[in-house]
Amino acid sequence: MTDGKQTDRRSQAWFGASGRSGMVYRSWMRNQGFGPDVFDGRPVIGIATSASELAPCNAHLTRVAEAVKRGVWQAGGFPLQFPTMATGETLMRPTAMLYRNLMAMEVEELIRANPLDGVVLLSGCDKTTPAMLMGAASVDVPAVMVTGGPMLNGKYRGQDVGSGTHVWKFEEDLKTGRMTQEECFFAEGCMARSNGHCMTMGTASTMACMAEALGMQLPGSATWPAVDSRRMETAQAAGQRIVQMVHEELRPSQILTREAFENAIRVNAAIGGSTNAIIHLTALAGRVGVDLTPEDFDTLARAVPTLVNLMPSGKYLMEDFCYAGGLPAVMGELLHGGLLHGEQITVTGRGIAENVADAERVDPDVITGLDAPFQPPGTGTAILRGNLCPDGAVIKQSAASPHLLTHHGPARVFDSPEAYHEVADDPDLDVDENTVIVIRNAGPKGYPGMPEVSNVPLPAKLLKAGVTDMVRICDGRMSGTGYGTVVLHVAPEAAVGGPLALVRDGDRIVLDVPGRTLRLDVDDAELERRRAAWKPPTPQHTSGYAWLYTQHVEQADQGADFGFLRGCRGYEVPRDSH
């Protein structure tokens, strides 16, 4: 190697080639004005940009890409920006989650098929972060992520409003007449007043923090607001760093170890992160051969208090979190408590402990300390088992009502979220506050795509009577910004014949979160009779991508990846194209 140029570099199989092929590879690139020197063996860095006007949370990423590009040039690399699909959470039907695996597949194939030595992954909205990490992990060229950053705090009538979280509150206010439709239109604009992703500790912020906790983005990178100049500084630094990572051959497989996932799970507990992290981390672990079980998320997190006081569980927003010290301050605190693997290497080339050595908790009200945490250990996400969820179910205790964490009541069953919504406003609906609302066929295969529909609003008649929460059980997911006593990710799902399919109106359901069980109080013989009579739902799709999805998607406890996408397929492409 001389001056960072290398003839055996991956990209040199293209740009260093002689004869007709080499001519084709170089000549067409030169139509963009690149001189011949860029083909001299310097690291070629892909900048994978999921910018799209259809994914508002990612719309500004082309500007972030410019900053990355500066850094790559500075460090002696050759940057090439390319677009990937963007799974925007707000617009895509039936759910962005249906397309996470498609995006992961696209990212993987684009990296492998092109002359790239390293890649910078620009993501933002919920599914774009796991999709890009999954795709890059399956190729294993050096990779660093830069998330696009959260929006500025929402501001409505002198009050901080959080994206997502306040949608649920405003909906209830509209229903109960506390807010008019005109006020609501105005509030919509107040909630999303800058570029960036949701600024609550929803799934996007959670996954940005997970990328940093795993060691896949630079320290501090998860929390800079999208419009903060330091977001661009970080992006530029990531551009510089990826060139060095190529020289060092520091690959995702060295970073995404079992220890890294254990760190991420504990950080997720400390930030009060989204339940969706369970699915995405499990799927990512499947790409790198780390075996995560649902119980890992419970047992590893149990010793960890929630330190970060952010909506939906608390009161602050990502902008406050950033100014309070950001994720490095949280990780520093966890390290002091012996709760992280400090040696685990990250994209900086250093361990976590070294990365956060200088981190400081600037505002102890936003980022609390282990000595006086925002919420005590053991109040985070719990994994339930029982005859209603043999392969597990999830409940976010911090978003639930304490009095409902042990509860038994009669089931009122709906075969789809739509079936519930049709009657939810009926003043004569046969429910009371003890009823357990069961929503089924919202799982990976059943919907398809496992949408965020589980925290259905309470029946209007109960809301009017002042009821604020009820137990809801569903095989779908919940938005990371949602709240309520909602049992999610029930596996196996109803559409594949999981026990949720066998529940009938009036059956007693017993929820015992401290005991980690969810039971259907119906004897086995009766359940067997019902199972024998059960017929699978008629497939909704017989062709196209949705059909492919239902054929190959795994259950929630496996991360809902496609079975055939598990593992790392590497970066070798033995055959030429010309």
| Of 89 and 475, CB closest to ligand FES | 89
- Interacting partner of 479 out of ligand FES, Mg ion, none (Cβ under 5 to 8 A depending on kind): Mg ion
With binding defined as CB under 5 A, does residue 126 bind Mg ion? yes
Helix (H, G, I), strand (E, B) or coil at 508: strand
Which parts of 124-234 are beta strand (E)?
143-147, 154-156, 159-161
With binding defined as CB under 6 A, does residue 202 bind ligand FES? yes
With binding defined as CB under 6 A, does residue 9 bind ligand FES? no
| Of 48 and 243, CB closest to ligand FES | 48
Q: Which of 106, 108, 117, 126 is the binder for ligand FES (CB under 6 A)? A: 126
| Of 138 and 481, CB closest to Mg ion | 481
- Name the β-bridge partners of 181: none
Rounded Cα distance, 495 and 414, in Å: 13
Least distance CB 103 / Mg ion (angstroms): 15
With binding defined as CB under 6 A, does residue 197 bind ligand FES? yes
| Of 151 and 267, CB closest to ligand FES | 151
With binding defined as CB under 5 A, does residue 206 bind Mg ion? no
With binding defined as CB under 6 A, does residue 198 bind ligand FES? yes
Q: Which residues contact 44 (CB under 8 A, 6 or more apart)?
A: 9, 11, 15, 77, 78, 80, 115, 116, 117, 118
Q: Which CB contacts under 8 angstroms, 24+ apart, belong to 290-295? A: 290/256, 290/257, 290/258, 290/261, 292/261, 292/559, 293/557, 294/383, 294/391, 294/392, 294/394, 294/557, 295/383, 295/392
Least distance CB 126 / ligand FES (angstroms): 5
Helix (H, G, I), strand (E, B) or coil at 492: coil
Rounded Cα distance, 509 and 507, in Å: 6
Q: Which range in 123-131, 177-185, 233-241, 374-382 contacts Mg ion by CB under 5 A?
A: 123-131
Q: Which of 47, 57, 72, 292 is the binder for ligand FES (CB under 6 A)? A: 57
- How many residues contact ligand FES, by CB under 6 A? 10
Q: Which range in 4-12, 153-161, 195-203, 248-256 contacts ligand FES by CB under 6 A?
A: 195-203
Least distance CB 131 / ligand FES (angstroms): 13
- Interacting partner of 90 out of ligand FES, Mg ion, none (Cβ under 5 to 8 A depending on kind): ligand FES
CA dist 506 to 18, 416, 434, Å? Answer: 75, 18, 12
Would you say 211 and 156 are in contact if contact means Cβ atoms under 8 Å apart? no
Q: Which range in 167-175, 198-206, 383-391, 544-552 contacts ligand FES by CB under 6 A?
A: 198-206
Residue from 496, 297, 482 nearest 382 by CA:
297
With binding defined as CB under 6 A, does residue 90 bind ligand FES? yes
- Name the β-bridge partners of 406: 512
Binding mask 80-119 for Mg ion (x = CB under 5 A): ---------x------------------------------
Under rule CB under 5 A, which residues in 309-338 are in contact with Mg ion?
A: none
With b for 16 or more beta-carbon neighbours within 10 A and e for fewer, the 128-146 pattern comes to bbbbbbbbbbbbbbbbbbb
CA dist 285 to 211, 375, 391, 572, Å? Answer: 13, 28, 18, 21
CA dist 190 to 119, 160, 184, Å? Answer: 36, 9, 10
- 407 C-beta neighbours (distance < 10 Å), count: 17
With binding defined as CB under 5 A, does residue 479 bind Mg ion? yes
- Interacting partner of 57 out of Mg ion, ligand FES, none (Cβ under 5 to 8 A depending on kind): ligand FES
Task: List residues near ligand FES by CB under 6 A.
Answer: 57, 89-90, 125-126, 163, 197-198, 202, 204
Task: List residues near Mg ion by CB under 5 A.
Answer: 89, 126, 202-203, 479
